[in-house]
Amino acid sequence: MSLLEVERLEARYGLLLAVRGVSLSLEPGETVALVGANGAGKTTLLRCIAGAHRHSGGRILFKGRDVGALSAHARAALGVALVPEGRRLFSRLTVEENLLLARSAGRRGPWTVEAVMQAFPNLKARRRALAGSLSGGEQQATAIGRALMTNPEALLLDEVSLGLSPLAVERVYAELEILTRSGVAIVLVEQDLKRAMAISQRTICMLEGAIALEGASGALTREHVTQAYFGLGRSAPAEARVR
């Protein structure tokens, strides 16, 4: 049984159908890269899985349970955590206070403030600094650490490198490699195809709200994904699914 299963999911913003019949799965400990152009539906899909946006059709199963009617807080308590685009930290609270707030999910596990500091060593010296005073990379590390404090089994990361300097991106991805070895399953939304495919076992490309291409990251080339990304062609390897 997959850890997470999304079946024929649909989501709307008013009359706009932002996610159209999406089906995907996530296995325990797996990292899946979710790529696509702006407006492809990636963020909406993650928000639906996390319970931050109500879907209008289909099902979301977590560990075999239909969680579609549950609140975001209830899904976090089950083990689903979202790091949203833009990070959305409490700017007037310290790094440590932002981390401690996430304990309200009530899940036991290995992730504590000290464990987060060990995984993200750039935060140690900034532990008592206000989140609003942090650099972009430090804010992203804090946002990921806050999600980890819920001790999730499925971690949804939305645009982790957006707006970061090249040095900060390098640091964040070095830390993500540690997470991929920790057993947490990850769905990673990323514009940098090379980085996303290098860190993931599977790559899923969305186009206009639907999945255009899915396959093992090692079997896909940048050209395959770029063609699906822009809807230019369907010359993917046989083991990939073109939709």
Query: Following DSSP, what letter does each residue of 80-97 receive, concatenated?
Result: EEEE-TT----TTSBHHH
Answer whether residue 72 is part of any domain: yes
Query: What are residue 230's phi and psi, to 5 degrees?
Result: -105, 5
| Model confidence at 139: pLDDT above 90 | yes
Per the prediction, the chain carries an average pLDDT of 92
What pLDDT does 178 receive?
85
Find the domain containing 12 and state its range: 1-80+185-243
Q: Based on the domain organization, do 129 and 93 belong to the same domain?
A: yes
Task: Please tell me the chain's helix, strand, coil percentages from 3-state DSSP, rounded to the nearest 5.
Answer: 35, 25, 35
Answer whether residue 96 is part of any domain: yes
Contact predicate 137/171, CB 8 Å: yes
Q: Hey, what are 33's tokens?
A: 């890269």
Answer whether residue 143 is part of any domain: yes
Looking at 152, 175, 205, which one is the last position of a domain?
Answer: 152
What pLDDT does 242 receive?
61
| Model confidence at 124: pLDDT above 90 | yes
- Mean pLDDT of the 189-211 span: 95
Q: Based on the domain organization, do 193 and 75 belong to the same domain?
A: yes
What pLDDT does 243 receive?
61
CB hemisphere CA count around 151 (13 angstroms): 14
What pLDDT does 67 receive?
98
Amino acid at 204: I
Looking at 133, 152, 171, which one is the last position of a domain?
Answer: 152
What pLDDT does 88 receive?
86
Looking at 152, 173, 199, which one is the last position of a domain?
Answer: 152
Answer whether residue 106 is part of any domain: yes
Answer whether residue 138 is part of any domain: yes
Q: Based on the domain organization, do 115 and 49 belong to the same domain?
A: no
pTM assigned to the model: 0.91
Answer whether residue 6 is part of any domain: yes
**Where residue 207 sits, what CATH number does that domain have?**
3.40.50.300
pLDDT band for position 182 (cuts 50, 70, 90): confident
Answer whether residue 174 is part of any domain: no
CA angle, 111 then 98 then 81, to 5°: 55
| Model confidence at 143: pLDDT above 90 | yes
Bridge partners, residue 97, by sequence:
none
Q: Based on the domain organization, do 108 and 146 belong to the same domain?
A: yes
Least confident of 40-54, 99-113, 143-157: 99-113
Spatial distance between the Cα atoms of 162 and 167, rounded to a whole number of angstroms: 13
Spatial distance between the Cα atoms of 59 and 66, rounded to a whole number of angstroms: 7
| Model confidence at 92: pLDDT above 80 | yes
Q: Based on the domain organization, do 6 and 76 belong to the same domain?
A: yes
Answer whether residue 167 is part of any domain: no
What pLDDT does 235 receive?
56
The number of domains in the chain is: 2
Q: Based on the domain organization, do 76 and 27 belong to the same domain?
A: yes
What pLDDT does 238 receive?
54
Q: Based on the domain organization, do 2 and 54 belong to the same domain?
A: yes
Contact predicate 208/216, CB 8 Å: no
What pLDDT does 117 receive?
94
Q: Based on the domain organization, do 58 and 121 belong to the same domain?
A: no
Q: Based on the domain organization, do 8 and 57 belong to the same domain?
A: yes
